[in-house]
Amino acid sequence: MDLERKVFDGIHIVDFGWALAGPLSVKYLADYGATVVCIESQQRPDLLRVSAPFKDEIPNVNRAGFFSYFAANKYSISLDLNNTAAKEIAKNLVAWADIAADSHRPGVLEKWSLDYDALIKIKPDIIMIRSSNQGLTGPAALQPGLGNHINGLGGIVHLVGLPDEEPVSPMVAYTDYCVPPLAASALIGALDYRRKTGRGQLIDLSQFEAGLHLIAPLLLDYSTSGMEAKANGNACEYAVPHGVFRCKGEDRWCAITVFTEEEWQAMGKAMGNPGWTKDEEFSTFLGRKKNEARLNLLVEQWTSQHEPEHVMMLMQKEGVAAGVVQNAEDICSDAQLEERGFFWEGDHEEMGTFSYLGQPSRLSETPANLYRNAPSLGEHNKYICLEILGMSEDEYDRHLEAGVFGP
């Protein structure tokens, strides 16, 4: 018997979301107990359902690891929203919901008559969040794009690379992951406001705008002094050494960062006090800064003789901030993450055992949990129609035959 109360027990969310930023924002509520119904499409499956990796490399919407990784604790219904009866079901879900979430390009929900103005006619106090690349208004509102494009537009790509060399792109859709905690904060705020005042609202979130808060000081710098920040590798103005150093093994690296005199001494000790650490040119912070390139080479000569885990442990033992540049394999066997149960080990209807992304915070009284494995596409069509919307079995069967849930 489960007597534990979840934070969002009884909160209903209909999620029109798509790809990353939208569904990840809703994950925050799903993982703490909200009932979330994702409206999906058989004809136009979610971008991540058709993205690698697929279990055993067999492409299939229900074998998509990227989609499922983020989609625990949600129900899935597949609706052909060009079908009138399907649209009716979507509207009934809106009537049931406290929150409607969307992350399509502006215009898509308008086409289906499911925009905010339409929704408040069905549910006057609904909270609707529309998370889009560039917001609902303005000349670029309708511009299509994915996270990688916003990485460029929003200034992140320009900040990655070696000085005066071609930039490098983070391979991930960076802003897609910056937005969810901001969106969730606003959503929960709106939910609390609604519970206290009875009023819903529309949240227009531009991923471009939200992401700019993560580089805000650089924008203030430009507007006050005309300075345009540039990529500077892994360097830091007030730390030296501060970099990523090659270690023993193939493509193995360790980050080492030294901020204080004390840490500089400690780093020397961790390395066994090689003679060069006593060189005159390295005896002061300014000296080390001036000779940073040579210093980095000397550090790397030492690190390249050791495995990165060993370098990290030696440095940490002496109180120097250092960490292995971990790849996915390292992360999946990491003692710290295992101890904290970061990944949620569960199952999946078609993929078998599956590791889900957990929450990065631990709430002492109301921890997040894996309540439900990620759904197959349309897995809960019948459950949602019968149990949530109270449809009769006959009616459901008629809809099924009529292609309401897809071909």
Partner 1 sequence: MHEKKCLVRSPRVLDMTNRNGHLCGRILADLGADVVKVERPGGDPDRRIGPFYRQTFDRERSLLWFAYNANKRGITLNLDTGDGRQILKTLADKADFLIESFPPGTMDELGLGYAALAEINPRMIYTSITPFGQTGPYKNFKASDLVVMAMSGLLYMTGRPGEAPLRISFPQSFLLAAAHAAAASMIAYFHRETTGRGQHVDVSARECVLWEISNAIPSWKLNRKILKRAGSYMSGRWANIKQKLLWKCKDGYVVFYILSGGFGVKTNRGIVAWLQEEGLDSELLTNVDWNDFDMSEQTQETQNQMEAPIAELFSRHTKAELYNEALKRKIMLSPVSTARDICENTQLHARNFWVEVDHPEIPAGIPYPGPFARLSETPLASARRAPLPGEHNLEIYEKELAFSKRDLRLLHQSGII
Of 243-282, binders to partner 1 (CB under 8 A) are 243-246, 251, 253-255, 257, 259
10-49 residues near partner 1, rule: CB under 8 A? 20, 24, 28, 32, 44, 47
Shorter beta-carbon distance to partner 1: residue 105 or 372: 105
110-169 residues near partner 1, rule: CB under 8 A? 129, 134-135, 137-146, 148-162, 166-169
The amino acid present at 150, given as its one-letter code, is I
Which listed residue (332, 349, 393, 398) binds partner 1 by CB under 8 A? 332
CB of residue 390 to partner 1, shortest distance in Å: 27
CB of residue 267 to partner 1, shortest distance in Å: 11
Report if residue 378 touches partner 1, rule: CB under 8 A.
no
The amino acid present at 222, given as its one-letter code, is Y
- Neighbour-count burial of 224, counting CB atoms closer than 10 A to its CB (0-12 exposed, 13-18 middle, 19+ buried): exposed
Segment near partner 1 (CB under 8 A); pick from 80-88, 91-99, 284-292, 328-336: 328-336
Report if residue 405 touches partner 1, rule: CB under 8 A.
no
Shorter beta-carbon distance to partner 1: residue 359 or 400: 359
346 Cβ neighbours under 8 A, 6+ residues apart: 72, 353, 354, 355, 356, 370, 373
Token pair of 300 as six digits? 């790397």
CB of residue 238 to partner 1, shortest distance in Å: 7
Shorter beta-carbon distance to partner 1: residue 181 or 395: 181
CB of residue 207 to partner 1, shortest distance in Å: 10
The torsion angles phi and psi of 181, rounded to 5 degrees, stand at -65, -30
Report if residue 95 touches partner 1, rule: CB under 8 A.
no
Tell me whether strands 12-15 and 99-102 are parallel, antiparallel or unpaired.
parallel
Token pair of 356 as six digits? 């889900």
Instruction: Give me the sign of the Cα torsion angle 334, 337, 340, 343.
Output: negative
**Burial track 357-392 (b if 16+ CB lie within 10 A, e otherwise):** bbeeeeeeeebbbbbbbbbbbbbbbbebbeebbebe
Helix (H) or strand (E) holding 96: helix 84-96
Tell me whether strands 344-348 and 127-132 are parallel, antiparallel or unpaired.
unpaired
Which listed residue (22, 268, 358, 378) binds partner 1 by CB under 8 A? 358
Report if residue 289 touches partner 1, rule: CB under 8 A.
no
Token pair of 43 as six digits? 């004809």
Which listed residue (113, 291, 359, 369) binds partner 1 by CB under 8 A? 359
CB of residue 92 to partner 1, shortest distance in Å: 24
What is the per-residue binding string for partner 1 in 60-79, x denoting contact by CB under 8 A? -----xx-xx----------
The amino acid present at 264, given as its one-letter code, is W
* Residues contacting partner 1: total by CB under 8 A: 161
Report if residue 398 touches partner 1, rule: CB under 8 A.
no
d(CA 338, CA 191): 33
CB 167 within 8 A of CB 161: yes
CB of residue 401 to partner 1, shortest distance in Å: 26
Place of tokens 């030296």: 240
195 Cβ neighbours under 8 A, 6+ residues apart: none
Segment near partner 1 (CB under 8 A); pick from 80-88, 184-192, 278-286, 394-402: 184-192
Which listed residue (3, 216, 286, 293) binds partner 1 by CB under 8 A? 216
Report if residue 195 touches partner 1, rule: CB under 8 A.
yes
Instruction: Give me the sign of the Cα torsion angle 341, 347, 348, 351.
Output: positive
Which one, of 321, 333, 186, lies nearest residue 260 by Cα?
A: 321
Report if residue 284 touches partner 1, rule: CB under 8 A.
no
Report if residue 208 touches partner 1, rule: CB under 8 A.
yes
Shorter beta-carbon distance to partner 1: residue 153 or 391: 153
Report if residue 388 touches partner 1, rule: CB under 8 A.
no
Coil/strand/helix, residue 118: helix
